Amino acid sequence: MKTLRVWLLLCLTVSAVRAEEPAGIRFFNGSWKDVLAEAKKQKKPVFVDIYTTWCGPCKQMAKQAFPDTKVGEKFNANFVNYQIDAEKGEGIEVAKKYAVTAYPTSLYVSADGDLIHRVIGYNGIPGMLTEADKAITAAKDPNPLSAMEKQYEAGTRDINFMRAYLTKRATVGMPNGDALDMYMQSIPEADWATDENLKLLAGNITSARSKAFDVLLQQQPRLMMNIDLRELSRKTSFALSSAIQNDFRRAVDMKDENQLDAMLISNTQFQSLFRKPTKEMLDATANQYRMRFYQQTKNTDKYRMLAEAEANRLMTTPIDTIKAKDEAAYKRFQQQTAMLPDSVKKSENFQKSAQMMERMESNQVAGKLNSIAWTYFENMVDKNDLMQAVKWSERSLELSRSAAHLDTYANLLHKTGRRAEAVKYQTEAIALLKAKGEDTAKYEETLAKMKK
């Protein structure tokens, strides 16, 4: 009888402990090396949530999906789960290793660190569960990418292997531009534009300065006109855009303005697929890229010259003109969505879209001014520069009084010695975030520094 009582007490204790465990995903704490070792110990692949602190969809996924019971059951049973910030510590190298450029990115890797499956973005709980099933299936693949890599490095180049190899690399989002060039050289040029090969090109293109880019660019109008090829058209369009962005990142890394110029030519070709851009549109796009280039390469003088011109242009645009553009954009939105069923119009996503469209031009102008003002806060020390940035920030608040814009204004005020006002506006930013149920930790940390 005593033994029975002890056994019952033990069962109740274990049940109570399990009841106290969170229902959602349990994340492993430790280094990247530690999580791979744990995966090897448990004989499971690793699910890696790669996020940034500023990423809205990352926060949405963390809030909605990670605490969900079904998500927890699926992921805890099949993966060792891990989270890492792409902009801090080991996260920088992990993101670089797996070519992560968008957030959130969900990686599924083997215990040896080999990539099994990749998902970019957050598509809700059902989508997350579906992708987890794909990863579970991919983990059982008898011929994984790691094995094919060894074959490729050993010199295997027959057509069937290259096609399978490039397909697998495209599937996991790890394109190989050199292998793609070899494959294109080994098949007739007339076959480059088959639908099957266009998928391979779209999945492996790494630069706009390539034959693959020219082929995709040439074929894109045909794909866009064929409703049956809509999904392929979407993939090729995304591939063209990604190749251009890769070239921009390379130009920044090498601090090479000639590469930047070449990238801008490619971007003009891409933009022309959808509508003939005016000179004003092309100049505006080029200026935005050049500003980003000078900002990221720390060329303060050239950045200042373009930033001031852009900010002054935005500041001299009358508020009435901006409001008129808001109204015109919202009217177009209403016309385009008039035939949608009420069930769609009442959805949360539609309501958010409608709110954005009501103030589209205001938000865009405010966002541009805020971005320039924030860059000045981060990089400028001259008081005249900072005072200009304060004025730009004030105009951004006139157009869109968001928490992010208030945060920029508060930081600029603090840097220019207006500490009491800085505290006031940072407090307002925090209140706005709390009203929306959003995370305020970073803003609270800034406020604490302002009060010292």
Based on the domain organization, do 221 and 189 belong to the same domain? yes
Among 141, 175, 191, where does a domain finish?
A: 141
Distance CA 280, CA 340 (A): 34
Based on the domain organization, do 196 and 252 belong to the same domain? yes
Distance CA 156, CA 224 (A): 36
Among 276, 300, 322, where does a domain finish?
A: 276
Residue 438: its pLDDT value, please? Answer: 85
Based on the domain organization, do 226 and 265 belong to the same domain? yes
Write a three-state SS string for 253-274: HHCCHHHHHHHHHHHHHHHCCC
Distance CA 220, CA 240 (A): 9
Which residue is listed with tokens 């102008």? 365
Helix (H, G, I), strand (E, B) or coil at 222: helix
Based on the domain organization, do 133 and 180 belong to the same domain? no
In total, how many domains does the chain have? 3
Distance CA 238, CA 203 (A): 10
- Measuring CA to CA, how many Å separate 290 from each of 85, 214, 333? 28, 24, 31
CATH number, domain containing residue 100: 3.40.30.10
Based on the domain organization, do 48 and 168 belong to the same domain? no
With residue 108 as reference, give the H or E element that holds it: strand 105-109
The pair phi, psi for residue 438, each rounded to 5°, is -100, 160
123 falls within a domain:
yes
Residue 309: its pLDDT value, please? Answer: 95
Based on the domain organization, do 13 and 129 belong to the same domain? yes
pTM above 0.75, yes or no: yes
Residue 35: its pLDDT value, please? Answer: 97
Residue 345: its pLDDT value, please? Answer: 81
Question: 28: which DSSP letter?
Answer: P
Residues paired with residue 49 on neighbouring β-strands, in sequence order: 83, 106
Based on the domain organization, do 106 and 156 belong to the same domain? no
380 falls within a domain:
no
Distance CA 37, CA 71 (A): 23
> What phi-psi label fits residue 400: left (phi over 0), alpha (psi between -120 and 50 degrees) or beta?
beta
Among 247, 276, 305, where does a domain finish?
A: 276
106 contacts 49 by C-beta, under 8 angstroms: yes
Based on the domain organization, do 13 and 136 belong to the same domain? yes
Based on the domain organization, do 178 and 220 belong to the same domain? yes
Based on the domain organization, do 202 and 242 belong to the same domain? yes
Question: 158: which DSSP letter?
Answer: -
114: containing domain? 2-141
Distance CA 241, CA 220 (A): 12
Distance CA 262, CA 213 (A): 13
Mean pLDDT by 10 residues, the chain (452 residues): 45 44 87 96 97 90 94 96 95 94 94 94 94 94 92 95 95 93 96 96 96 97 94 96 96 97 96 89 94 96 96 94 92 88 83 87 96 96 96 97 97 97 97 91 95 91
